[in-house]
Amino acid sequence: MSSKREQVSPREAALWIAERLCEHGHVAYFAGGCVRDRLLGIEPSDFDVATDARPDRIQELFHSAVGVGESFGVMLVRRGGHAIEVATFRSDGPYQDGRHPVSVTFSDARSDAARRDFTVNAIFEDPSTGELVDHFNGREDLDNGILRAVGDAPSRMAEDHLRALRAVRFAARFSFEIEAATAEAIRDSVGDLDGVSRERIGGEIRRMLAHPSRGRAAALLESFGLDAPVLLESSLDSAAHPVLAVLGERERPPIDGVAAWLIDRHGSEANDHVEAIRDALLLSNQEHRTLEGVLSTEQALREDWISFGVAARKRLAALDVFPVALELLGARDSGLHDRVVEDLEPLRATGLAPDPMLDGNDLITIGLKPGPDFKSILDAVYDAQLEGRVVDRKTAVELARELATRG
Ligand code: ATP
Ligand code: MG
């Protein structure tokens, strides 16, 4: 059953909050990504509200409000199943170690725009009229496809190195040019990403590689020399990214992009870089396993598919990571890719991963003594099943007996 709460869109939820603030004499705008995205014709995923109301006042007006960064004046307000960030206008004090501002001061809309990273992210929208409050000509940059730091580019980039990665992500995603002074500041001062945690680096890279613009993001990172601090390896300009390109025009799990990028950078040696990437991007165990699986399967396809028999091919083709590995193979060897696709048809027709006819209990039932050779017997019977030499329980049992006596 759909409740009334769920029918409120994020935009309506944010609008309700902003209107309520205004009714109580405050200024309240939509801010940041949601304004930018709407102007670009993209449906924003989340809405942020910026206001002159202080956190204690926000708490008073919205009982659901909880502080998420109260020292920075950021509150989370729940409405209609959505959690909307409501932040008090502020200006940031000096930055420490390229990490956090030492202090923040509550201020007005203009100072709040001035602390934001890029002009296109510093536009406010009056939600009731749709009018823009645009202190740094973000609209013009947006229309011209330009990503420009707010204020003095070198100092803005120096105070927070994460902005360099955000610049790459936005420029890639929206196909924007990074304005010259901003680009120079990135190149000059943030080559080490000093002060940015591995979590945040990993987060930014995942978002870049998940998005269809992943190839452009990789090229930008490499051209700025940011690939070195991101991947914790030497900088490398791989120029073209044919393997990333093969991932196509849709969102994908980030790990597909990591695998593709590694092959673009290191070719057949991609496997050797998995451990370093795990540490560099703080991959989860699951992501690490998948990455290893994709790369080793791609390698097996390249090196062994032709010589593999039916059972080995079926075992490989049944892996979760096989479709991605096959796609990546296509970028490097389209002839072999097409050959594998052809080979797959008859393999699929007879079943890539049928349920095994026998398990360990069956072996005991037919009188075999449990032991270390159980696994090799079961593997051999399963291979025979995959190859069609074993077609029912009777032939399976016969083979198992024969293998057991052969020892
Ligand atoms: P998206 O959510 O699509 O990544 P966004 O612009 O909404 O894009 P958020 O990380 O949600 O990005 O941040 C919201 C806003 O906060 C930004 O638009 C920007 O104005 C400001 N902001 C975020 N991170 C920084 C930063 N490191 N330095 C300065 N301003 C920032
Ligand atoms: Mg956002």
What pLDDT score does 45 carry? 86
CATH class of 1-144: alpha beta
Q: Is 94 exposed, middle or buried (0-12, 13-18, 19+ CB in 10 A)?
A: exposed
All residues at 6 or more sequence positions from 238 whose CB lies less than 8 Å from its CB, including other chains: 218, 222, 264, 265
342-395 pLDDT, tens digit per residue, is 999 999 999 999 999 999 999 999 999 998 899 999 999 999 999 999 999 999
Residue 162 CB less than 6 A away from ligand 1 = yes
Pick the atom of ligand 1 nearest to 36's CA: 6
Point out the ligand nearest to the CA of residue 46.
2
For 407, other C-beta atoms within 10 Å of its C-beta total 5
Dist. CA 186 → ligand 1 center (Å): 17
Residue 33 CB less than 6 A away from ligand 1 = yes
pTM listed for this prediction = 0.92
Domain boundaries, the chain: 1-144, 152-266, 292-349, 360-406
* Residue corresponding to tokens 């025979």: 384
Residue 179 CB less than 6 A away from ligand 1 = no
Nearest-angstrom CA–CA distance, 280 and 225: 15
* Residue corresponding to tokens 């203009």: 110
250-280 pLDDT, tens digit per residue, is 999 999 999 999 999 999 999 999 999 999 9
Report the CATH architecture of 152-266. Answer: Orthogonal Bundle (1.10)
Answer yes or no: are the C-beta atoms of 248 and 256 closer than 8 Å: no
Residue 116 CB less than 6 A away from ligand 1 = yes
- Give, for ligand 1, the residue of 42, 92, 95, 121 to mutate: max count of ligand atoms closer than 8 Å to Cβ: 121
- Tokens for 90, please give them: 């502020």
Answer yes or no: are the C-beta atoms of 241 and 189 closer than 8 Å: no
- The residue whose C-alpha atom lies closest to atom 3 belonging to ligand 1 is 33
Residue 163 CB less than 6 A away from ligand 1 = yes
70-111 pLDDT, tens digit per residue, is 677 899 999 999 999 999 999 987 777 666 777 779 999 999
Produce one character per residue of 361-395: b if its CB has 16 or more CB atoms within 10 Å, e if not.
Answer: ebbeeeebeeeeebeebbebbbbbbbeeebeeeee
Nearest-angstrom CA–CA distance, 35 and 22: 19
For 221, other C-beta atoms within 10 Å of its C-beta total 25
